[in-house]
Structure 1
Amino acid sequence: MDYNLIALLMFSTMLLMMLTGQRVFGAIGFVAVVAAMALWGPGGTDMGFSAVMKLMKWTPLLTLPMFVYMGYVMSESRLAEDLYRMFHVWFGPMPGGLAIGTILLMVMISVMNGLSVAGMAIGATIALPELLRRNYDKLMISGVIQAGSSLGILIPPSVVLVLFSLIARQPVSELWLAGAVPGLLMAVLFIAYITIRCRLNPALAPAMSAAERAQITWPEKLRLLRAGLLPIFIFAAMMVPFLNGWASLTEASVIGALSAVLAAVVKRRFTWAVFETATRNTLAITVMFMLIITAALSFGAVFDGLGAGRAIENFFLKDLGLGPWQILILMQLSFLVMGMFLDDTAMLVIVAPVYVSLARALGFDMIWYGVLYTITCQIAYLTPPFGYNLFLMKAMAPPEFTLPVIYRSVFPFVLVMVLTLILVMVFPQLALWLPQTVLGR
Structure 2
Amino acid sequence: MSDEMIALLMFSSMMLLLLTGQRIFGAIGFVAAAASWWLWGDGGFEMPFNASFTLMNWYPLLTLPLFIYMGYMLSESGIASDLYRMFHVWMGPLHGGLAIGTVGLMIAISAMNGLSVAGMAIGASIALPEMLRRGYDKIMVTGVIQAGSSLGILVPPSVVLVLYGMIARQPVGKLWLAGVFPGLLLAGLFILYIVIRCRLQPHLGPALPLEERQMRWGDKLKLLQAGILPLLIFFSMTGLFLMGVTSLVESSAVGAAAATVAAIVKRRLTRQVMEDTIRKTLGISCMFMWIILAALSFGAVFDGLGAGRALGSLFLEQWGLGPWEILIMMQLSYILMGMFLDDTAMLVIVAPLYVPLVIELGFDPVWYGVLYTITVQIAYMTPPFGYNLFLMRAMAPPEVSLGDIYRSVWPFVTIMVVGLAIVTAFPQIALWLPELYYAR
TM-score bracket for the superposition, by shorter chain length: over 0.9
- Look up the match of 2:431: 432
- Cα distance in 2, alignment partners of residues 404 and 7 from structure 1: 39
Is 2:96 the counterpart of 1:58?
Answer: no
1:171-210 correspondence to structure 2 within 5 Å: 171-210=171-210
Secondary structure of the structure 2 residue equivalent to 1:170: coil
Is 2:5 the counterpart of 1:27?
Answer: no
Q: Which moved more, 1:77-86 or 1:31-40?
A: 31-40
1:167-316 correspondence to structure 2 within 5 Å: 167-214=167-214, 216-316=215-315
1:3-24 residue CA offsets vs partner (Å, 9 max, x unmatched)? 2122112111211221222111
- Cα distance in 1, alignment partners of residues 265 and 344 from structure 2: 35
Per-residue deviation, 1:76: 0.5
Is 2:97 the counterpart of 1:97?
Answer: yes
- Look up the match of 1:69: 69
Per-residue deviation, 1:437: 2.1
Secondary structure of the structure 1 residue equivalent to 2:335: helix
Secondary structure of the structure 2 residue equivalent to 1:270: coil
Amino acid across the alignment from 1:263: A
CA contact (8 A) 1:297 1:350 kept: no
1:348-367 residue CA offsets vs partner (Å, 9 max, x unmatched)? 11101211101100111121
- Cα distance in 2, alignment partners of residues 223 and 436 from structure 1: 39
- Look up the match of 1:151: 151
Q: Which moved more, 1:358-367 or 1:240-249?
A: 240-249
1:340-390 residue CA offsets vs partner (Å, 9 max, x unmatched)? 122111111110121110110011112111111111121122122332222
- Cα distance in 1, alignment partners of residues 398 and 44 from structure 2: 49
- Cα distance in 1, alignment partners of residues 46 and 251 from structure 2: 34
Per-residue deviation, 1:438: 2.2
Secondary structure of the structure 2 residue equivalent to 1:410: helix
Q: Which moved more, 1:93-102 or 1:11-20?
A: 11-20
CA contact (8 A) 1:153 1:374 kept: yes
CA contact (8 A) 1:84 1:127 kept: yes
1:46-72 residue CA offsets vs partner (Å, 9 max, x unmatched)? 111111111111111111111111111
Amino acid across the alignment from 2:95: P
- Look up the match of 2:139: 139
Identity %: 67
1:377-428 residue CA offsets vs partner (Å, 9 max, x unmatched)? 2112212233222221111112222222222211111111111111111111
User: Structure 1 pair 385/54, CA: closer, same or farther in 2 (3 Å)?
Assistant: farther
- Look up the match of 1:43: 43
What stretches of structure 1 of length at least 5 have no aligned partner? none
Per-residue deviation, 1:153: 0.2
- Cα distance in 2, alignment partners of residues 134 and 419 from structure 1: 31
- Look up the match of 2:325: 326
- Look up the match of 1:338: 337
- Cα distance in 1, alignment partners of residues 414 and 16 from structure 2: 29
What stretches of structure 2 of length at least 5 have no aligned partner? none
Per-residue deviation, 1:316: 1.3
Q: Which runs of structure 1 show a deviation greater than 3 angstroms over 4 or more consecutive aligned residues?
A: none
TM-score (norm 1): 0.97
- Cα distance in 2, alignment partners of residues 108 and 44 from structure 1: 46
Amino acid across the alignment from 1:92: G
TM-score (norm 2): 0.97
Secondary structure of the structure 1 residue equivalent to 2:292: helix
- Cα distance in 2, alignment partners of residues 52 and 404 from structure 1: 43
1:288-343 residue CA offsets vs partner (Å, 9 max, x unmatched)? 11111111221122222222111101111211222222221221122221211221
- Look up the match of 2:112: 112
- Cα distance in 2, alignment partners of residues 406 and 26 from structure 1: 31
- Cα distance in 2, alignment partners of residues 337 and 158 from structure 1: 23
- Look up the match of 1:391: 390
- Cα distance in 1, alignment partners of residues 352 and 229 from structure 2: 38
Secondary structure of the structure 2 residue equivalent to 1:351: helix
CA contact (8 A) 2:340 2:387 kept: no
CA contact (8 A) 1:185 1:420 kept: yes
Per-residue deviation, 1:271: 1.1
- Cα distance in 1, alignment partners of residues 235 and 114 from structure 2: 15
CA contact (8 A) 1:341 1:385 kept: no
Secondary structure of the structure 1 residue equivalent to 2:400: coil
CA contact (8 A) 1:29 1:298 kept: yes
- Cα distance in 1, alignment partners of residues 365 and 167 from structure 2: 11
- Cα distance in 2, alignment partners of residues 270 and 111 from structure 1: 21
- Cα distance in 2, alignment partners of residues 359 and 411 from structure 1: 29
1:410-425 correspondence to structure 2 within 5 Å: 410-425=409-424
- Cα distance in 2, alignment partners of residues 251 and 212 from structure 1: 44
Please tell me the root mean square deviation across aligned C-alpha atoms, in Å: 1.3
Amino acid across the alignment from 2:341: L
Amino acid across the alignment from 1:291: W
- Cα distance in 1, alignment partners of residues 12 and 124 from structure 2: 36
- Cα distance in 2, alignment partners of residues 438 and 302 from structure 1: 37
- Cα distance in 1, alignment partners of residues 167 and 113 from structure 2: 21
- Cα distance in 1, alignment partners of residues 129 and 355 from structure 2: 42
- Look up the match of 1:401: 400
- Cα distance in 2, alignment partners of residues 2 and 104 from structure 1: 53
Q: Which moved more, 1:163-172 or 1:238-247?
A: 238-247
- Cα distance in 1, alignment partners of residues 134 and 243 from structure 2: 45
